[in-house]
């Protein structure tokens, strides 16, 4: 699965309005080491606003039938995200 496939099935989630509202910075798809399932990683700024120097947090969500699902966890660095992927 890649990001373009996920965007095709979740158009509203990836809208410019949503991205601005939640101050999203980037999106990734990573594969869990144990389950081999794909997970959506949403990088957002810590607070709302247009400040580009604010720290990020990473929301890990499951993907079911090419739809973004429930939040699994919130991590505060990419290193933590990769550690989480080892347990999923």
- What is the per-residue pLDDT for 46? 73
Which pLDDT score is estimated for 3?
95
Which regions of the chain are under pLDDT 50?
none
What pLDDT score was predicted for residue 51? 60
Domain with 21, as residue range(s), is 3-87
Residue 50 structure tokens: 């247009």
Report the domain count for the chain: 1
User: What pLDDT is recorded for position 66?
Assistant: 95
What's the pLDDT score for residue 48?
56
pLDDT at 52: 61
User: What's the rounded Cα separation, in Å, for the pair 70 and 85?
Assistant: 16
Confirm if 39 and 72 have CB atoms less than 8 A apart. yes
């Amino acid at each position: 699965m890649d990001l373009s496939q996920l965007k095709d099935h979740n158009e509203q989630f990836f809208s410019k309005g949503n991205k601005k509202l939640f101050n999203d910075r980037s999106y990734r798809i990573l594969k869990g080491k144990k389950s081999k399932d794909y997970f959506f990683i949403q990088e957002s700024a810590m607070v709302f606003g247009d400040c580009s120097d604010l720290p990020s947090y990473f929301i890990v969500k499951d993907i079911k039938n090419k739809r973004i699902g429930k939040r699994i966890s919130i991590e505060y660095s990419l290193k933590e995200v990769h550690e989480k992927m080892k347990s999923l």
